[in-house]
Amino acid sequence: MFIDFHTHTTASDGTYKPEDLVKKAKSAGIEIIAITDHDTVSGFNEIDNEFDDDPSICVVKGVEISAEYPTDSLHILGYDFKDFETVGHVLNELIDYRNRRNDKILQKMNDIGFAASMEELKKIAKGKAIGRPHFARLMVEKGYVKSIDEAFQKYLKDGAPLFVEKKRLKPEEAIELIKNAGGIAIMAHPYNILDGLPLLPQGSPESLEGYIAKLVELGLDGVEAFYSTHTMSQTDELLRIAKKYDLLTSAGSDFHGENRPSVKIGMNTPYKHLKKFLSRLS
Whether residues 230 and 265 fall in one domain: yes
Residue 146 phi/psi, 5° resolution? Answer: -90, -20
Q: How far apart are CA 66 and CA 58, in angstroms?
A: 25
- Domain end, chosen from 156, 190, 208, is at 156
Whether pLDDT at 206 is above 60: no
The reply to whether 143 and 200 lie within a common domain is no
Question: pLDDT-derived band of residue 133, with 50, 70 and 90 as boundaries?
Answer: confident
The span from the CA of 189 to the CA of 222, in Å, is 11
Based on the fold, state whether residues 269 and 176 are members of the same structural domain. Answer: yes
Residue 208 lies in a domain: yes
Q: Find the distance separating the first CA and the last CA of the chain, reported in whole Å.
A: 18
Q: Is the pLDDT reported for residue 280 higher than 90?
A: yes
Mean pLDDT (the chain) is 91
Please tell me whether residues 129 and 264 are part of one structural domain: no
pLDDT band at 1; cut points 50, 70, 90: very high
Domain match, 78 and 185 both: yes
Res 269: pLDDT: 97
Q: Contact, 201 vs 82, CB < 8 A?
A: no
- DSSP SS3 for 159: coil
More confident residue, 107 or 194: 107
Residues 246 and 181 in one domain: yes
Is the predicted pLDDT of residue 202 greater than 60, yes or no?
no
In whole angstroms, what is the distance from residue 177 CA to residue 89 CA?
11
Same domain, yes or no, for 202 and 237?
yes
pLDDT in tens, 72-127: 679 999 999 999 899 999 998 888 887 898 999 999 999 999 999 999 998 888 76
Residue 162 covered by a domain: no
Q: Is residue 167 part of a domain?
A: no
Are 277 and 12 spatial neighbours (Cβ–Cβ below 8 Å)?
no
CATH label of the domain that carries residue 257 = 3.20.20.140
Reply yes or no on whether the pLDDT at 128 is more than 80. Answer: no
Residue 97, pLDDT score: 84
Q: Are residues 99 and 230 in the same domain?
A: no
Percentage of the chain exceeding pLDDT 90: 73
For residues 184 and 167, which has the higher predicted lDDT (pLDDT)?
184
At 34, which amino acid appears? A
Distance CA 66, CA 87 (A): 13
Mark whether 201 and 264 lie in a shared domain: yes
Amino acid found at 14? G
Residue 157 φ/ψ, nearest 5 degrees:
-70, 170
Report pTM. 0.80
Q: Are residues 274 and 186 in the same domain?
A: yes
CATH number at residue 114: 1.10.150
In a domain, residue 144? The reply is: yes
Residue 89 burial (10 A CB sphere; 0-12, 13-18, 19+): exposed
pLDDT digits (tens, 9 = 90+) for 33-52: 999 999 999 999 888 788 98
Q: Are 76 and 7 within one domain?
A: yes
Q: Does residue 126 fall inside a structural domain?
A: yes
Examine the pLDDT at 197 and tell me if it is beyond 80: no
261 belongs to a structural domain = yes
Looking at residue 69, its pLDDT comes to: 84
Helix axis angle for 84-111 and 132-141, nearest 10°, is 40
Domains identified in the chain, total number? 2
Residues 194 and 234 occupy one common structural domain: yes
Residue-number span of the structural domain to which 104 is assigned: 92-156
Domain membership flag for residue 166 = no
